[in-house]
Chains A and B, each alone.
Chain A
Amino acid sequence: MKILLFLLLASVPALAADDGIPKHPRDLKYPALNYEPPQASGYRHKLASGATAYMVEDHELPLVNIVVLVRTGKYLEPEGKVGLTSLVGSQMRSGGTKTKPPAVFDEEAAYLAAQMSSAIADTMGEARMNCLTRTLDSCMALFFDMLQNPGFAEDRLKLAKTQALQGMQRRNDATMEIERREFARLLRGPNFFTVKPITKASLESITREDLAAFHSRYYYPSNFIFAVSGDFHNKEMMAKLDKAMAGWQNGTEKVPEVPKPGFALKPGIYIVDKKDVNQGRVSMGHLGTTFDNPDHLALEVMNGILGGGGFTSRIMSRVRSDEGLAYSAGSQFSIGRYYDGVFMAGFQSKSPTVAQAVSIVREEIDRIRTDKVKPDELSTEINSSVEALSRRFATAGQKAMQFASDDYNKMPADYWQTYRDRIKALTADDILRVAKKYLQPDKLVTVVVGDANTILKGNPDKPQYQLSKFGNIERIPLPDPLTMVYPKAQAAE
């Protein structure tokens, strides 16, 4: 019989062929791996212009990578000009330079097969270049022209605004986008700079002059940290960088500090109704802590066990493997650099089983706060962090970027050298302590996006699971995507 035959094939070990193979991987013996993470100081160079550069040579391929981190960010947008920094970032690359119209600049870069980009995120600006060694001088000339003398051509700015407007029109289309937006808004408050949305009015108020003013205020050498990697020689590259930035006047104004949010979140269940989808997306969480808190490593390990460690983590194991309620399920405990990070657990499940999956996630949050984690859970997480450290520094490009971003983030100089010992010192008591302290079930904001009526009805086969058991349910209407004005919220149910 067919069924039996295949089952036998699949389940009886072929003993004869297994000679010399240990019965279980725990019996394998490994050669020692003496890995020491590289020291950033060995790669650090101060440039004549005042910029810092981390340079990692690697001559295997005829390519050069230059990344510039710029001390700036979205938080520096003036009042009423939400969207300015994203336009400055993109238009540096798209708007040509003072001497080269966009079409000319773009043709030259394309013919040279150079990859160039520029962007500004919440608390950092970034520009990148990748080119063939043989075209390095021409490409660096273009790249530094872009960095120093962006043209911000009017017609390209107009196009970028149209594209931004179109992006805004899509704001209520995808449940994922709605979920992310509402979760961030409920956690940080509507006015924090990471949350405050671009609107049609703020977009229209932004002028070419605004872009140029923002650029000249923050883009100058002493505000740059370079990560340079690939096929060059340090001395020559230093000279090229010095030459490229010769005469570029540094700013004198100190870049303002990143603000901290002062918002009291309101715990509860928030549901956004989206008809015509058969799955509910859920994010639940609250604020976390910052990097200067010594508990951040224990939190990293705690979260790995709870929901951050892929298949081995508890939330994944229960929501996905045990119950088959979601494809992706897990948690994050992001550690903020300037302000508190966010604890977030989430999943996507078919509408009727959303409440059951919420219930499981809440149980797991409670459990890690009350019971010590098991020794094998702890050792899996610790070993994983310790053993995978070399992945951070695997290539010349990764090394240079890690050094540059550690510098940008003002990380302790010996952070990676002491990292493994600090991780290995963690105990189950540490994990329990930080779970108790930093996971706060009574503060959970739960955002659910999907077909509200079906989700609230629950699963007829398991009527015991109801969202309403976990708190007050508030319906959030969809805002006007261009003004971001929300219709008056409906009464709680």
Chain B
Amino acid sequence: MRPKLIVLFSWLALAATAQQINVEEHVLDNGMRVLLLPRRGSANIFGGWIARVGSVDERPGITGISHLFEHMMFKGTTTIGTRDPEEDARLNLEMDRVKAEMRKEEQKLAERVRMGEVTDPKDPKVRTAKHNELLAKFDILAKRQSELLVKNEFDRIYTSEGASRMNAGTSEDFTIYFINVPANKLELWFWMESDRLAHPVFREFYTERDVVHEERRMRTDSTPTGRYLEQFDAMFWKSSPYGWPVVGWPSDLESITREEANAYFGTYYAPNNLTACLVGDFDTKTAMELANKYFGRLQRGATEPEPVRTIEMPQLAEQRMTAYAETTPEALIRYHTVADGHLDDAPLNIVASLMNDRTGRLYKALVLDQQIATAAFANQESRKYEGFMQFRGVARPGKDPADVEKAIYKEIEKLQNEPVPDRELEKVKNNIAAANFRRQESDFALLTNILVNDADRGWKVLNTDPKLLEAVTPADIQRVANRYFLAENRDVLLFYRKSGGAK
């Protein structure tokens, strides 16, 4: 049934001008970018910075290092976190040496596993005497170091000054750090952030490696679909480094060394690879004086980090995965599309919006009309170097996900064959206009939006991308649907419930 139209002006013109985000942009002499967005009202400030490095910059053997690194950045500095920086440094070095020797023992064990002589390399019974000796030696060193530690001092200083929401995150393309401080503690933020960039010490490295492995177990290994989705990713990307998980492969997590972390830091955490940003209650002049004083002391990196070289090979044939897991049957269809900012990125994002929500095409067709699914979504994921468009439908109880898959293709064909009606497109664009205001309701959302975009195409795209979305025409949509949504360009994952679980 066709809903009664309500008379409305178009907000498109309004959207193009009013939601401009006016960031004050500075570049320090060492190449570090500093972005300032003062906002009145709240008596506090969100501060953050982003490093242009993520799992895409890794290589086999050190997968997961970007994320492990994010953890290490909270372990303190030469000033923060230890009572005796010299002894602490000496112990770190000695622990690295013991670990290097241990690695030889582990490599021998790995070979015995390869030869089938050993099944569980973690079993204490299969270790050599030397291996046990090294383990004991390492424990003694770790204990000595822990006696010198001022535990979690980095966090304690911030917390006791009223800072909150301290956290960090790693993606395929970037690593971001953020916190909120009371408005009068802006200098504390500069002190702490510049100190950990100028004088970091990656102490407790090997324990933190274990913590990250637990994080992997929690997020990937011990969830109903985590491992399947990880393997689907690995199947989807053939040559692109997006094929390995951000958290890293378990074998690498157990082998990354502190030396490798140091090298990574030297390349990717140099100021010329960083952007800092403040959003909240502060004066920009004071902020820039502090930025020059504190971040200005960071030394420009010896080399500029290089963009990723390996480009995804075009896919020649459809790839399929059928998984039996403890989960609700579901179909997931993924097409190779384009990177963030590509000319086709805007129309593909509009396609996703046309599909989504309770008045979107997937919900109407699959959930309401055909009653074949209970939920359905689409999204265009545009990463720095590559991108994909994904369609998902959760099968209604008793329905086959293969039929959900077919129903999604029908909707894709409609996109390819029929122009989108004007009013439907207008609805989507109205929502994009509103979203441009809503994203400014939260200082935190602004901070992360500014930083994440600055790590890629520059923060200014926050003001220019909406115009590209507004300009998308029905013909653009048909064109991208025909260009990317091809059988040979897709991977399909069907989940079925593993028998033995619920009905």
Contact = CB atoms under 8 A, between A and B. Distances in A.
Interface of A: 2-4, 6-7, 9-14, 17-18, 20-26, 28, 30-33, 35, 58, 60-63, 94, 101, 103-104, 106-108, 110-113, 115, 130-132, 134-135, 138, 159, 162-163, 165-166, 168-176, 276-279, 281, 309-312, 316-317, 320-328, 348-350, 376, 379-380, 383-384, 386-388, 390-391, 393-397, 450, 460-461, 481-482
A135 B218 CA distance: 44
B164 A25 contact: no
Given A11-B89, A173-B326, A394-B44, A2 B259 contact: yes
B192 interface: yes
Contacts of A323: 207
11 contacts: A7-B89, A22-B191, A28-B187, A63-B434, A172-B501, A173-B224, A174-B223, A383-B162, A384-B159, A387-B182, A395-B441
Nearest to A29: B187
A106 B358 contact: yes
Nearest to B154: A311
Given A3-B96, A33-B183, A11 B437 contact: no
Given A24-B79, A348-B214, A383-B162, 18 more contacts: A6-B259, A14-B297, A22-B191, A25-B191, A25-B192, A135-B8, A159-B367, A170-B328, A170-B502, A172-B501, A310-B155, A322-B146, A325-B210, A380-B156, A387-B162, A391-B180, A393-B42, A482-B503
A21 B293 CA distance: 8
B85 A11 contact: yes
A98 B400 CA distance: 35
A104 to B, nearest CB: 4
Contacts of B482: none
A107 B263 CA distance: 55
Interface in B237-279: 259, 262-263, 265-266
B397 A162 contact: yes
B188 A174 contact: no
B11 A324 contact: no
Interface in B163-217: 163-164, 166, 180, 182-185, 187-188, 191-192, 198-202, 204, 206-215, 217
Contacts of B85: 11
Given A10-B199, A20-B293, A279-B217, A25 B427 contact: no
A55 B440 CA distance: 20
A35 B44 CA distance: 10
Contacts of B89: 7, 11
B263 A2 contact: yes
Contacts of B41: 58, 60, 394-396
Would you list the 9 A-B pairs with minimal beta carbon distance, nearest first? Answer: A387-B162, A324-B210, A6-B262, A394-B42, A17-B297, A113-B434, A327-B215, A107-B3, A311-B155
B390 interface: no
Contacts of B357: 110
B427 A278 contact: no
Contacts of B431: 110, 113
Contacts of A393: 42
A172 B501 CA distance: 8
B307 interface: no
